[in-house]
Chains A and B, each alone.
Chain A
Amino acid sequence: MTDHVEVRRGSYADSVSLMQVTQRVRDAGGVRAAVVAMATPLNVEVLADLGFEPGDAGPNDLVVAIRGEDAEGIAAGIAALEAGLAALARASAGAGGFGPAEPARTTASAFRRDPDATLGFVSVPGPGAFAEASDAIAAGRSVMVFSDNVDLEAEIALKAAAAEAGVLVMGPDCGTALVGGVALGFANRVRAGSIGLVAASGTGAQQVMCLLDAAGAGVSHCLGLGGRDLGARVRGASARTALAALAADPATDRVVVVSKPADPQVVAEVEALADGLGVPVHWITLGPGRPDLTAGVEEVLTAAGLGVPTWPTWSPSTASAAAPDAAPSDAPPGPAQPADPRGAADASEAADDPIGATAHPLGAADTSAAPFDPASPADPASPADGPYLRGLYCGGTLADEAMLIAAETLGPIRSNIPLADEQRLSGRAASIGHVVVDFGDDELTAGRPHPMIDPGLRLERIAAEAADPTCGVLLLDLVLGYGAHPDPAPALAAAITDARAVAADQGRDLPVVVALVGAADDPQGLEATGRALADVGAHVFASNAHATRHALRLLTRKDG
């Protein structure tokens, strides 16, 4: 027999609760006797009667006295004690008793209600995001801040607190993440796998994940950073945490960092950190003269020993848009890529599809290393009648990528998110020359939902461009997945139909090219969406880079 007596100072519970805990301890195997009580004079007497010596404990101290048959009995008793005390704490933090629970009004309160919650997700108006994100960090949880319009100082403060707490802040203005197979914000239902993403760009990450998915490669996690993380002020605070976490994650064998142009010194620092992590880290950083997102994905696939597939396309089937059987090639013929078996399966599935006549996976893969050649063999279909490219985007990074590619051929492009400030043009202004508009930019989202949820503004703009005789090609994106509009195809297809009809009334043919960013398993249905758009005459590409090059080909052919 052996005794265990300990005094827990300043620890209080009421006597009835402690009697319940005591009973639990007595019921543990190998326990002969036990008292768990506040050391009131009465309880001290009880302890003494049982032969326990509680020392100098006072009425505000909790005394634990356990008599076990042996050390194992004591251990079992202590385990039962801890379980009992934990149950007390849970009961008191919960919402037991009569009446319905009142809603949690702060993130701190919600974390108390679900102590097992692993992540906070904040999408309140920007100025309110700091308080909610702070609550999550204070609760020791990582947090994704979807909110935009959070000022830089707040971001720096949150990330400093997160570093201290050993948690991750994804954002602010983090649109996309994938954690443990769960899509957060705007994200796609991609297959699970061993490639981890660290993303300073939401739609860029979606493009990369969807292409990986199309290639049969899977994603372990996609940790978002927010667009400013790799900037000179935040200095990659979240990138460092995310990289270290993915490197240590048993599900992740390879890491891809996706970013818009970032601060070179910060990138160098984070690259140096990444080099020491013991897992391969690839960088897909958009910028002039750098590989586009599709090329970056192809590099990753090749490095991983996976084949680069033919990226899916859906060709227009209407008579006015495409010559029959003329598979639109958006790139010069290149060396054949090793076919990925899963990619091939996708292609054959499409071919077997009874209504697959509208879906023509390309025969040749693009190799982005090959320079764009406007004089490449012409697609006889879809001559563009206006001189200018008009890109209307919902995804900021996709718009960036389109401008980077198009600028090489077309020169300066006006935009509300221009590559150079001289080309700034409000997203609300009428188009002049080549224009790419990002409808997801703050300028156009103030007071309304993101265009991936509410396409209204962009649909109006499509109509406006259709009526403009200088508009030669419409280049659009459509992003599927969680968070996005549940069925965006019908409204966009109708807008494309109307736009082409308006142009036709003016005697113009208006080609429409769509970058369709989605995964095969997305709730909206990738295949059905692609087909619906192709059915109304759009050229649809899974790769935004390929879509852009195809739009350029249509435009420059007309010029030629």
Chain B
Amino acid sequence: MTDSHGRGTDAPLADLLRTDPRVVTAGADLLGQALRDQAVPVTEVDWRPPLLGEDGEDRLGEDRAGRTYRALRTVLGDARRTVANARALERMCAAGSELVAIRPASEVLGLEKGQFLHAGPPLEWERASGPMRGALIGATVFEGIADTPEEAERLLASGSLEFEPCHHRDAVGPMAGVVSPSMWMFELRDPVHGNTSYCSLNEGLGKVLRYGAYGPEVQTRLRWMADVLGPVLSRAVAAHGSVDVAAIVAQMVQMGDEGHNRNRSATLMWLRDLLPDLVSLGVDGTDLADVVRFVGANDHFALNLVMPTCKLAMLAAADIEGSSMVTVMARNGTDFGIQTAGTGREWFTGPANRPEGLFLGDFGPDDANPDIGDSAITETAGIGGFVMAAAPAIVRLVGGDVDFALAATRRMYEITLGEHPRIQVPILEFRGAPAGIDVTQVVRTGILPQINTGMAGAVAGTGQVGAGLVTPPERCFTAALDALASRATPGAEVGAVRA
């Protein structure tokens, strides 16, 4: 197109010079006000200083803010970042999740007697918190390695037993997340990208292993789950064929579940799918009734399907060089750790925060352990606390209110790369869930990912003491940013880096 001057509208800066200005402002309000005084439409950025980086002796003379700014500039200037992040988001949102089998951990993960998995980043026994120790003790007794909790503790402290993060085996575990060889595992496959992930069967609420309880009732339940629940459900899944859990997750968010602390509709949808095959198995009537009652009465049963579904989404986005997207958030009760797409399987950790929320019975804040569990994989994948607006029924349990839930979900869009095309928040006009946490956006805005969580008792053997809200420590993100900066494409880095 050309105008009467013969100068085309595709000429340089034609959009800027030939349309009435509309301005986005970041910074001094006085200058934005001057624009509004001229009747210019203005969209303001509520700019805040970024998170401060760690003190570093390697760069003398550079203050913490300077360190953050330099790292941000390097990562934002990485020529690969835009494409890498778009690819990470696209793969994350495209991932499917099908429950293909239920099998013992010894079989699907090759876990051997004396080997255990646990939640969060790597951990030594000496630094393990009460609920983590309790769960490991319980699992050691459950596997028959020790006869008493005292003996189990001695063995664990001696270093003769092995334990490593679930994430290192593409598995996820809620709360303590302890997995032992005899436990039965959900096995889920992403048909789009070919990844597989795993999670144990959920034990229900109260005094349960994942909250650090290990007493006789815990042992009895674990035994029944291994002897009856696992095998029966396994046969039902085999008879039914694979179950599309990704579809269940998309639907649950439209039904008032956020997928972390509320999994009621997902549990019932899953049971509905399996029920015809369950009752057709011909298993003992009492066992069948026990299985159906156990699953149906446990509102959290589907958490252990939602979590590996989220893990599959994040596995699809893993190992994309140049991407600053968070692929793992996980806590072991002592440390909070994250991984990013652009930094392989390296953990960036900081001391886990203590959740704030509501307490069961006589328990209070002093009874709560710091944040624990792999369940923050839900927020990593854009649900859980990120879609709290979709789950008004949950917000009071975690100590918030509906306004808070709406604001929290809206706030998460400021730190995410996009919106999930399939997981939608009805109350926000079916806006896609805030998907793909971007390390640079977290550091720039200082907005930390919002996590809904259960609270474990700090003392081993206690169990659950409440539920609440928590955020990761800042240093996970500043450390990840530093690592991304050090891996930025040579030549893409801008700014003088001091030797």
Task: Say yes or no: A99 contacts B403, CB within 8 Å.
Answer: yes
Q: List 7 A-B contacts (CB under 8 A).
A: A95-B410, A110-B24, A111-B24, A118-B16, A123-B26, A141-B24, A185-B31
The 8 A CB mask of A134-161 against B (1 = contact, 0 = none) is 1010100110001100010110110000
Is B215 interfacial (CB-CB < 8 Å)? no
Is A119 interfacial (CB-CB < 8 Å)? yes
Task: Say yes or no: B77 contacts A157, CB within 8 Å.
Answer: yes
Task: Say yes or no: B73 contacts A110, CB within 8 Å.
Answer: no
Task: Say yes or no: A241 contacts B12, CB within 8 Å.
Answer: yes
Interface of chain A residues 219 through 242 with chain B (CB within 8 A): 221, 241-242
Task: Say yes or no: B432 contacts A92, CB within 8 Å.
Answer: yes
Cα A91 to Cα B432 in complex, Å, equals: 10
- Assuming the A-B contacts A109-B45, A124-B47, A248-B7, are A153 and B23 also in contact, with contact meaning beta carbons closer than 8 angstroms in the complex? no
Task: Say yes or no: B34 contacts A183, CB within 8 Å.
Answer: yes
With both beta carbons as reference points, the residue of chain A lying nearest to B497 in the complex is identified as A153
- Assuming the A-B contacts A102-B411, A153-B495, are A523 and B37 also in contact, with contact meaning beta carbons closer than 8 angstroms in the complex? yes
Is A103 interfacial (CB-CB < 8 Å)? yes
Cα A156 to Cα B25 in complex, Å, equals: 22
Is B224 interfacial (CB-CB < 8 Å)? no
Q: Nearest 9 pairs between A and B by C-beta? A: A123-B27, A96-B429, A99-B406, A248-B11, A97-B428, A103-B46, A245-B13, A157-B494, A127-B69
- Assuming the A-B contacts A166-B12, A180-B19, are A14 and B422 also in contact, with contact meaning beta carbons closer than 8 angstroms in the complex? yes
Most buried by A among B18, B494, B496: B494
Contacts of B48 in A (CB 8 A): 105
Shortest distance in angstroms between B97's beta carbon and chain A's nearest beta carbon? 14
Stretch of B146-154, B271-279, B413-421 on the interface side: B413-421
Option from A106, A168, A523 in Cβ contact (under 8 Å) with B13: A168
Contacts of B77 in A (CB 8 A): 130, 134, 157
Cα A354 to Cα B414 in complex, Å, equals: 58
Is A334 interfacial (CB-CB < 8 Å)? no
With both beta carbons as reference points, the residue of chain B lying nearest to A242 in the complex is identified as B13
Option from B16, B21, B410, B444 in Cβ contact (under 8 Å) with A245: B16
Contacts of B37 in A (CB 8 A): 482, 523
Contacts of A94 in B (CB 8 A): 429, 431
Shortest distance in angstroms between A481's beta carbon and chain B's nearest beta carbon? 9
- Assuming the A-B contacts A101-B410, A123-B31, A153-B495, are A107 and B73 also in contact, with contact meaning beta carbons closer than 8 angstroms in the complex? no
The total of interchain contacts (Cβ-Cβ below 8 angstroms) comes to 243
Shortest distance in angstroms between B484's beta carbon and chain A's nearest beta carbon? 14
- Assuming the A-B contacts A17-B430, A117-B22, A249-B7, are A10 and B94 also in contact, with contact meaning beta carbons closer than 8 angstroms in the complex? yes
Cα A123 to Cα B403 in complex, Å, equals: 32
The 8 A CB mask of B149-172 against A (1 = contact, 0 = none) is 000000000000000000000000
Known: A121-B25, A125-B49. 11 other contacts (CB 8 A): A92-B429, A98-B427, A99-B406, A102-B413, A103-B45, A119-B24, A122-B25, A132-B27, A167-B13, A182-B40, A482-B38
Interface of chain B residues 252 through 302 with chain A (CB within 8 A): none
Interface of chain B residues 1 through 32 with chain A (CB within 8 A): 3-5, 7-8, 11-28, 30-32
Is A104 interfacial (CB-CB < 8 Å)? yes
- Assuming the A-B contacts A119-B23, A120-B24, A154-B73, are A98 and B428 also in contact, with contact meaning beta carbons closer than 8 angstroms in the complex? yes
Is B425 interfacial (CB-CB < 8 Å)? yes
Contacts of B32 in A (CB 8 A): 121
With both beta carbons as reference points, the residue of chain A lying nearest to B15 in the complex is identified as A118
Option from B15, B21, B82, B429 in Cβ contact (under 8 Å) with A138: B82
Contacts of A8 in B (CB 8 A): none
Task: Say yes or no: A136 contacts B13, CB within 8 Å.
Answer: no
Task: Say yes or no: B494 contacts A154, CB within 8 Å.
Answer: yes
Contacts of B69 in A (CB 8 A): 127-128, 130
Cα A142 to Cα B19 in complex, Å, equals: 13
Contacts of A97 in B (CB 8 A): 389, 406, 425, 427-429, 431
Cα A136 to Cα B23 in complex, Å, equals: 11
Cα A256 to Cα B73 in complex, Å, equals: 34
With both beta carbons as reference points, the residue of chain B lying nearest to A160 in the complex is identified as B494
The 8 A CB mask of B100-130 against A (1 = contact, 0 = none) is 0000000000000000000000000000000
Option from A109, A124, A146, A182 in Cβ contact (under 8 Å) with B413: A109
Cα A250 to Cα B45 in complex, Å, equals: 33
Task: Say yes or no: B431 contacts A105, CB within 8 Å.
Answer: no
Option from B3, B21, B407, B422 in Cβ contact (under 8 Å) with A179: B21
Task: Say yes or no: B421 contacts A483, CB within 8 Å.
Answer: no
Is A428 interfacial (CB-CB < 8 Å)? no
Shortest distance in angstroms between B467's beta carbon and chain A's nearest beta carbon? 23
What DSSP secondary structure best describes chain B's contact surface? Answer: mixed
Residues of A that sit less than 8 Å from B by CB: 10, 12-14, 16-17, 60, 91-107, 109-111, 113-114, 116-125, 127-128, 130-132, 134, 136, 138, 141-142, 146-147, 151, 153-154, 156-157, 166-168, 179-180, 182-185, 221, 241-242, 244-246, 248-251, 453, 482-483, 523
Task: Say yes or no: B26 contacts A124, CB within 8 Å.
Answer: yes
Cα A141 to Cα B430 in complex, Å, equals: 28
- Assuming the A-B contacts A60-B94, A118-B23, A147-B27, are A110 and B45 also in contact, with contact meaning beta carbons closer than 8 angstroms in the complex? yes
Option from A93, A110, A157 in Cβ contact (under 8 Å) with B43: A110
Is B50 interfacial (CB-CB < 8 Å)? yes
Task: Say yes or no: A103 contacts B76, CB within 8 Å.
Answer: no
With both beta carbons as reference points, the residue of chain B lying nearest to A246 in the complex is identified as B17
With both beta carbons as reference points, the residue of chain A lying nearest to B417 in the complex is identified as A108
Shortest distance in angstroms between B121's beta carbon and chain A's nearest beta carbon? 28
Is B304 interfacial (CB-CB < 8 Å)? no
Option from B24, B76, B496 in Cβ contact (under 8 Å) with A117: B24
Shortest distance in angstroms between B135's beta carbon and chain A's nearest beta carbon? 38
Most buried by B among A16, A91, A105: A105
Contacts of A153 in B (CB 8 A): 494-496
Cα A182 to Cα B25 in complex, Å, equals: 14
Task: Say yes or no: B16 contacts A142, CB within 8 Å.
Answer: yes
Cα A96 to Cα B28 in complex, Å, equals: 28
Cα A99 to Cα B50 in complex, Å, equals: 27
Cα A138 to Cα B441 in complex, Å, equals: 14
Shortest distance in angstroms between B383's beta carbon and chain A's nearest beta carbon? 16
Contacts of B40 in A (CB 8 A): 182
- Assuming the A-B contacts A183-B38, A250-B3, are A132 and B427 also in contact, with contact meaning beta carbons closer than 8 angstroms in the complex? no
Is B52 interfacial (CB-CB < 8 Å)? no
Shortest distance in angstroms between A112's beta carbon and chain B's nearest beta carbon? 9
Is B445 interfacial (CB-CB < 8 Å)? yes
Contacts of B428 in A (CB 8 A): 95-98
With both beta carbons as reference points, the residue of chain A lying nearest to B495 in the complex is identified as A153
Is B323 interfacial (CB-CB < 8 Å)? no
Interface of chain B residues 329 through 380 with chain A (CB within 8 A): none
Task: Say yes or no: A106 contacts B444, CB within 8 Å.
Answer: yes
With both beta carbons as reference points, the residue of chain B lying nearest to A91 in the complex is identified as B429
Contacts of B56 in A (CB 8 A): none
Contacts of B389 in A (CB 8 A): 97-99
Contacts of B444 in A (CB 8 A): 105-106, 131
Contacts of A132 in B (CB 8 A): 26-27, 45, 47
Is B456 interfacial (CB-CB < 8 Å)? no
Shortest distance in angstroms between A398's beta carbon and chain B's nearest beta carbon? 20
